[in-house]
Structure 1
Amino acid sequence: MDNWNILLESTNDGFTIATVLEVPDCQIRDETKEGAVEKVQQLLQKRLDKAEIIKIPTPIQPSTLENPVMRFAGIFRDDPDFIEIMKEIRAEREQDSDL
């Protein structure tokens, strides 16, 4: 048994709309919240009785896995000013941690 996410919305005219978030076109409108939940469950079950859920592998492009910030990693590696600034920051942190 899988759990499904159901969005319940109250309308201005007193009805409740129940929508299966994973299947947005699976939606019911009813006079009560309980009725909407029950009916959307039935509608989902009817739909799943005629359906099949499969998983397929999808190749992931390496560019989508790369953190865009990483293109800047190491750009100050040989900058003497940056190295000095980092030493000062480290000294301040160590001093703060001693307090």
Structure 2
Amino acid sequence: VATIVVGFALLPTGSAYYWLRGGFHDVGRISVDPWANTSVSGLLTRLHVPAAPANAVAVVLAVVALKLAATTYRRGHHVLALALGGLA
């Protein structure tokens, strides 16, 4: 909450747009291509997949990514393991 207050103090116009006038939901502020920056859950939601199957797919993919991260870590590829863990 303190960061929001500081944001309003330093950038009142930008903060008001983001928090009060819908800027939070404006995906154009992140990228001109909103599909380029999305999670698996977000992708499945955009494809109108019901919540239960979408969550199951996301969990399975996360488990697979974590398993791959553990395997690559044990093989000495620590940076790749860190990246895979971040993707999970």
Q: TM-score range by the shorter chain?
A: under 0.3
Give TM-score, length-normalised by structure 2.
0.22
Structure-1-length-normalised TM-score: 0.21
Answer 1 or 2: which has greater strand percent.
1
Structure of greater Rg: 1
